[in-house]
Structure 1
Amino acid sequence: METLLSTIHYWLVDHPAISQYEWKEGETLGASPLFAAVTAISYLSVTLFLHRFAVLPALSSAALRRAAAVHSMILCLLSLSMAVGGTLATLRQMPAIHGWRWVVCFPAAATLPRGPVFFWAHVSYFSKILEFVDTLLILLSGSRSRRLSFLHVFHHGGVVVVCYIALSTAQTLIPVALVTNAAVHVLMYAYYFLSALGHRPRWKKLVTNCQIIQFVFGFMISGLMLYYHLTGSGCSGIWAWTFNIVFVALLLTMFLDFHSSNYSSKKRKDHDN
């Protein structure tokens, strides 16, 4: 058992490519504002075009389910790796002098985007591009007008920019955002995987609730971060956090509206019946 844990720790934290990782603007893959901007704009433009003109043929139900199952399985396992790797990396990289405060507030004058925590944040950044396949699968289905919502497109397009800004500025709260987001995505893609196999779980609402809880928790932990920022020497990437928190606030508003529209109306219908 100890050997297994040591092996996991090596491949998720101690491997040289991970432990010695460093984000270098303009050198590391994807480490430029142009890359992030072009990626987000291309996603939005292509999605709008394909949705508006419906040039893609609809896949058969069987082919769509197989593609969705493979895609969901990959992202579920990748999210699990990010959740575990991000947790172990945080424990590994957290300096003794700052302790758990470092998790909430990177020291403004002494934090560079290097080490295993930022490696996994970079993996998360690219996983958001892989998630564009979610949109492609919707466009290839026969229910594109019903399922392709503004919330879906806004979320997928905007989160790439958010991840880039967080990495490039060594934004404080990255460990918290990384682990909580990856954990929620494990649950979400497990649901999608089982649904694609024809075993739709009964906990669809739980997925939405966990996403909302994630956003609310982000606001709560941000309050603690602001306390550290205002009473100490400052937290790294505070302006990037400001952009991030506005994006999260918009997402939370739309998720709450989605929750109300989908589950409250269903509850009333069930009650009337």
Structure 2
Amino acid sequence: MNNKDLSLRYYSDIDSIVSKTEDPFSEVKDVYHQLILHALAENDKKKQVEYMGKLIAYDSLHSRKQENVINEAMVSYDIPYLKHQKKEAEVQLQNKQKIITSVGLLAVAGIITGFYFYLRSVRMKKKLRLLLEGGIAKEKVNSGPVNVHPSSVPEDIRIDILAKLEKFENSERFLDKDLDMATLAQELETNTSYLSVVINTYKNKTFPNYLKELRISDAIIQLNRDPKLLKFNYQGLAETFGFRRGESFSKAFYNKTGVYPSKFIKELRLRKAGGHL
């Protein structure tokens, strides 16, 4: 009747019946032959593999009952070739699934990466706003109240050192790049052991990090106040704020603020020119 849709519906019904009864008949080969050709035309690898597998299985089962039955389907689709075609279709189906999985994983990775950089950008802008609004002002470097005072340092000496450190922090003495603990201890009229214990306990930092934080805090204030400093390169800024090398200044600045000085200076320049973050 040349009704293709009706034929395919009947073939599908036959496939369903044979699959449930597992009792094939000789003409079932023609049915699966047509279903395979339809799957090939539709590029449906999954159905192609399914129908090929059934044709091979039912042909083997039926052949044991009727060994002499031969029809046109088997002339054009002999079993060895059919097995080869089935294997190729299975490989293509697996490769397609791998591609879909890979694309999915890449998409997920892209979404996660994009979200990470978005959050990073938001945090960076918040930090920049904090710096541009007056920044991390020059502050006393401490970790809050100390519950246990160091027994290795007598109380009167500890109090004296802390008072002198407060004056030191409010001066610009810490901007001297040649300053070391021995020199500072001598200036504070104490020894390096006592000074080290007091700084570690009450400032919660090593002496080098203590100096770096004081210098970076001062750099933030001065960069906000003095437009001339915005013209300096890293090395010039390093020497101005007590560092020997530009790289050391940049690293210390980032460690304290979470923002690279280049980004901070760029935003300061935009603000001076009338732009805003």
Q: Compute the TM-score of the two structures, normalised by the length of structure 2.
A: 0.22
Q: Which has the higher contact order (CA 8 A, sep 6+)?
A: 1
Q: Which structure has the larger Rg over C-alpha atoms?
A: 2
